[in-house]
Amino acid sequence: MNYWYVARPNELFIDTDKMSRSLAHTKARLQGAIECVKLDVAYVMQRPSMRPDHCHTIITLKHEMYWLDRYVWEMILHGDIYRGFCNIMRSHSNILNADILISQYDSFITSNLKQERWPDDECECLTKHNSATMQTCPAAIRLRGDKRNMGFFGKPSKNPCKVWPE
């Protein structure tokens, strides 16, 4: 089962790749933002991702934040940069539920405050949510409708770049 979490206006979703390398940076940046009164954090919840050395973190703020500010903070806190740019483009294009985490866990729970975050939707897709899977995924259809598969940047080419100067 896949559980879909849609970011709320007071949540930062951090999709960390290479957790062993990035998590120390994320924690240092977050603590620095708290100390400089840039972020007012209520609590942090974290779960492993389906891939090794990856994790998903939900940082719940005490106050709502403008969507662009949230996405910039997600990237500053070492969230996946491609995901962050796609979130910006989805929000700018008025696509519903621009910021989503898909997890194998049916809840995120803090250990010390006993706060819980339940998913907004779920699906039983068996493969990673790539373009082909998103086309037929019932949760993607419900949450993003006909814009669920919108691409913004194209795929990297294996061909040499013809316009780059020698």
Q: How far apart are CA 47 and CA 58, in angstroms?
A: 9
Domain annotation covers residue 145: no
Domain annotation covers residue 146: no
Give the total number of structural domains in the chain.
1
Q: How far apart are CA 79 and CA 82, in angstroms?
A: 9
Per the structure, the complete domain to which residue 77 belongs is given by 2-120
Q: What is the pTM of this model?
A: 0.91
Length of the chain: 166
Domain annotation covers residue 166: no
Domain annotation covers residue 126: no
Domain annotation covers residue 156: no
pLDDT in tens, 62-110: 999 999 999 999 999 999 999 999 999 999 999 999 999 999 999 998 8
43 and 117 in contact (C-beta within 8 Å)? no
Domain annotation covers residue 163: no
pLDDT in tens, 39-49: 999 999 999 88
pLDDT in tens, 99-113: 999 999 999 988 777
